[in-house]
Amino acid sequence: MKTIFRRTLWVGLVLSLMVSVAQAAKGPRKTKKDQVVTISTPQGTIRLVLFEVTPLHKANFLKLAASGFYNGTTFHRVIPGFMIQGGDPNSKDDDPGNDGAGTADAQLIPAEIRPELSHKRGAVAAARTPDFVNPQRQSSPSQFYIVQNPQGTPHLDGQYTVFGQVISGQDVVDQIARQAVAERNRPVTDIKMTVTVDKLKKKKITELYGYQY
């Protein structure tokens, strides 16, 4: 009886291991739903999705958005033909001189630079400090930029973590990039954002915005 029990237990363990190996070989489990991030600005609404292959950046952005962190921050740096940048908590205060500086105790995010994710038009990527102080190319915990250039910005590929893509409102990105600016490409008039997140079926996202998974 003990022999049969041991044999059954051993067979069960082997089968369990085989299932685990098979699941691992298939890669990460694919979900049927995704989050759509909505950025509301005075110029209009931008919608984007975040990539599952950059899980640290995706989870961080969604957490900040859900907490209301981004509400009231601004797009503090805009350059037509290049990109628009925002998400710095300093942009909530009354001192325009510290916009983009971030905070000294900020916890950086490890780089998730992937060769298949390029700086094409509408790409969402994480800002960071230069290589000479940040050779690991770790990302800012909150600041991000959206590529506005119709031809993309391929010279940034492999240097910054791309972690999302605009799926609606690229014309709004264009409009923000055309705003009048002062020193350090800071808009003369604050471009404040409100960020919300909605979970939808991927099929519905494709139907609404044409984004293909």
Domain limits, the chain: 33-209
Architecture field, domain 33-209: Beta Barrel (2.40)
Is a pLDDT exceeding 60 seen at residue 74?
Answer: yes
The predicted model scores a pTM of 0.84
Is a pLDDT exceeding 60 seen at residue 8?
Answer: no
| Residue 211 per-residue DSSP state | -
Q: What are 36-54's pLDDT values in tens digits?
A: 999 999 999 999 999 999 9
Residue range 136-156: mean pLDDT, rounded = 97
Band of pLDDT at residue 99, cut at 50, 70 and 90 = confident
* Among candidate residues 70, 11, 102, the one with its CA nearest the CA of residue 195: 70
**Pairwise CA distance, residues 18 & 1, whole Å:** 26
Length of the chain: 213
Do β-strands 33-41 and 44-50 pair in parallel, antiparallel, or remain unpaired? Answer: antiparallel
**Pairwise CA distance, residues 24 & 98, whole Å:** 46
The mean predicted confidence, pLDDT, of the chain is 87
Q: What would you measure as the largest C-alpha separation in the chain, in angstroms?
A: 84
Phi/psi at 104 (5° precision): -65, -30
Q: Find out whether 185 and 65 touch, Cβ atoms under 8 Å.
A: no
Q: Find out whether 165 and 125 touch, Cβ atoms under 8 Å.
A: no
Q: Find out whether 85 and 77 touch, Cβ atoms under 8 Å.
A: yes
Is a pLDDT exceeding 60 seen at residue 112?
Answer: yes
